[in-house]
Amino acid sequence: MKPEITIYYANICGLCTKAVEFLRSRNLDFQAKAVVWDNESDAFVDTPNAREMMQRCGETLDFVPQIFIGNTHIAGWRKLEPMIEDGTFDRMLDA
């Protein structure tokens, strides 16, 4: 059985779009949870998804996407992309 995949994303984030499109291109089942960045407060808007993201990541964050493969946290596209290229991502799905 494949691990559950969750991605926290913002609509205005180009790298989030890239990550979601990658997951879709692989025909993977995943949960996409939207969060909203507030430029005035320089923080994510306090929503259930944002609180859940912060709790799962265990820290205050200022960027998305935040991706989870099972319980493994991948902090952003720049961390995910090399994992895709070197096969780590596929090995995580098969674990």
What are 87's two structure tokens?
Answer: 């096969």
Pick the CATH number of 5-94 from 3.40.50.720, 3.40.30.10, 1.20.1050.10, 3.40.50.261: 3.40.30.10
pLDDT digits (tens, 9 = 90+) for 31-43: 999 999 999 999 9
What's residue 14's pLDDT?
Answer: 94
What's residue 90's pLDDT?
Answer: 94
pTM score, whole prediction: 0.93
pLDDT digits (tens, 9 = 90+) for 38-71: 999 999 999 999 999 999 998 788 999 999 999 9
Cα-Cα-Cα-Cα dihedral of 34, 61, 7, 39, to 10°?
30
DSSP-assigned letters across all residues of the chain = -PPPEEEEE-TT-HHHHHHHHHHHHTT---EEEE--EETTTTEE---HHHHHHHHHHTS------EEEETTEEEESHHHHHHHHHTTHHHHHHH-
